[in-house]
Structure 1
Amino acid sequence: MSLLNQKAPDFTLENEKGEQVSLSDFKGKQVVLYFYPKDMTPGCTTEACDFRDAYEDFSSLNAVILGVSMDDANKHTKFIEKHGLPFSLLVDANHEVAAKYGVWVLKKMYGREYMGIERSTFLINEEGVIVAEWRKVKVKNHIAAVLSQLKGE
């Protein structure tokens, strides 16, 4: 299910501070919307820290980073504080937004099947259109690929 060149599905989710955050709040900015399975796990921590380390580069390109998982606001706050993350993490407790973006999928691990978030990133332009998407993301070199896309390279 590709969403490329389509209007990004709008949403309103709670952030780590309990505030309501809507995609439409960021009209006029580029949005890097990334979905990840779980706070404090190795791959998710590496991805979040890679985004943190490149945060100034994203900001200089008029881009906002938003992370989304099913973890609650308290877990997000601990994750942000532990790793010094300078961007918001949003709570998608009922995986409604993940489903809208097609990243709530059947996963298989160690022979068992379960539903979960597939690590994915969407680049949304100033008009709210998805101009790039990365699905089944491998964390290594991912942030560099997103930055290159933002720079038009």
Structure 2
Amino acid sequence: MATKASTTKPAAAKSTEKKPAEKATTAKATAAKPAKEAPAPKTAPAPAASLMQLKEGDSAPVFTLPGAGGETLSLAALSGKKIVLYFYPKDDTSGCTKEAIEFNALRDKFAKAGAVIVGMSPDSAKSHDKFRTKYELAFPLAADETKETLSAYGVWVEKSMYGRKYMGVERSTFLIGADGKIAKIWRKVKVPGHAEEVLAAAQGL
């Protein structure tokens, strides 16, 4: 009988020792959960803030981006010139095509006013190539696939359509003076007559 009792006790002790280990493992797993859940979903509060902060008289945010035709476009390379930097949602869509054609039709007048036109969207440089070729656009298009420049100018914003929210480009134009300062901002642009309005502002700058 004594032998049986001594055999049973160590077994009970073993099972008692396992329980704290299991609890510790469970505690570890519970503690690990917050670390996995820590990364927040990607939203865009920063672009919205930039939209409110960037104003006329501010220095234009710098950029260096690929463009159509394999060129590199940068604000620094255009230093000393007036720049019409317009942001549009997507190549070869109805509104964006009309806007590009209107700017293109006035390019000689912009040149006489000492202003260069640069279009920018999140499309790739390859997409820009096709867009420029199709409509014979004679001004550069910058590709901001990372949306960093779009965010810096405050035009990458939350939009809504049929109750669905999504991120996209707010059609906007910035007239930048030869001194690198933003002279005029147009937000939520309506395409008809917009290019002519920008031209008048460039001629008066």
TM-score w.r.t. structure 2 length? 0.73
State the shift of 1:17 in Å. Answer: 2.0
State the shift of 1:71 in Å. Answer: 0.6
State the shift of 1:148 in Å. Answer: 1.1
Structure number having the greater helix percentage: 2
Partners of 2:122 and 2:106 in 1: CA distance: 24
Root mean square deviation of aligned Cα: 1.1
4+ runs deviating over 4 angstroms: none
Helix, strand or coil: the match of 1:31?
A: strand
Is the counterpart of residue 146 in structure 1 residue 198 in structure 2?
Answer: yes
CA offsets 1:55-78 (integer angstroms, 9 cap, x no match) = 101011111100000111111011
**Structure-1 residue corresponding to 2:114:** 62
Considering only CA atoms, is the larger Rg found in Structure 1 or Structure 2? 2
Matches within 5 A, 1:1-150: 1=52, 2-150=54-202
CA offsets 1:96-115 (integer angstroms, 9 cap, x no match) = 00100000100111221100
Helix, strand or coil: the match of 1:8?
A: coil
Alignment length (residue pairs)? 153
Partners of 1:19 and 1:83 in 2: CA distance: 19
Partners of 2:85 and 2:59 in 1: CA distance: 14
CA offsets 1:84-136 (integer angstroms, 9 cap, x no match) = 10001010001100100000100111221100110000000001000000000
State the shift of 1:19 in Å. Answer: 2.4
State the shift of 1:144 in Å. Answer: 1.1
Task: Point out which structure has higher relative CO (alpha carbons under 8 A, 6+ apart).
Answer: 1
TM-score w.r.t. structure 1 length? 0.97
Does structure 2 retain, via aligned residues, the 8 Å contact 1:120–1:133?
yes
Partners of 1:109 and 1:67 in 2: CA distance: 24
Amino acid at match of 2:114: N
Does structure 2 retain, via aligned residues, the 8 Å contact 1:3–1:101?
no
Structure number having the greater strand percentage: 1
